[in-house]
Amino acid sequence: MKKSLIGAVVGMLVLAACGGPANNAAPKTNNDADVTFAQQMVPHHEQALDMAKLVPSRSSDAKVRDLAQRVEKAQGPEITQLNQWLKEWGAEPKSDHQGHDMSGMMSDEDMGKLEKAGGAEFDRLWLEMMIEHHEGAVEMAKKELTDGKDENAKKLAQAVIDGQQQEITEMRELLK
Q: Is the domain of 17 the same as that of 53?
A: no
pLDDT digits (tens, 9 = 90+) for 117-132: 999 999 999 999 999 9
Q: How far apart are CA 110 and CA 117, in angstroms?
A: 11
Q: Is the pTM of this model over 0.75?
A: yes
On whether both 13 and 47 belong to a single domain, the answer is: no
Those residues whose C-beta lies under 8 Å from the C-beta of residue 83, and which sit 6 or more positions away, are: 38, 42, 93
72 and 156 fall within a common domain? yes
36 plus 51 within the same structural domain:
yes
Instruction: Report the amino acid identity of residue 63.
Output: K
Q: Which residues of 25-51 are buried (b: 16+ CB within 10 A; e: fewer)?
A: eeeeebeebbbbbbbbbbbbbbbbeeb
For 13-51, how does the pLDDT look when each residue is reduced to its tens digit (9 = 90+)?
A: 444 445 444 445 667 899 999 999 999 999 999 999 999
Tell whether 9 and 36 lie within a shared domain. Answer: no
At CA 84, angle to CA 78 and CA 87, rounded to 5? Answer: 145
Q: Are residues 10 and 41 in the same domain?
A: no
In whole angstroms, what separates CA 133 from the centre of its chain?
12
In angstroms, the CA 6 to CA 13 distance is: 11
Same domain, 21 and 43: no
Residue 66 lies in domain: 31-95+103-175
Look up the CATH number of the domain holding residue 163: 1.20.1260.10
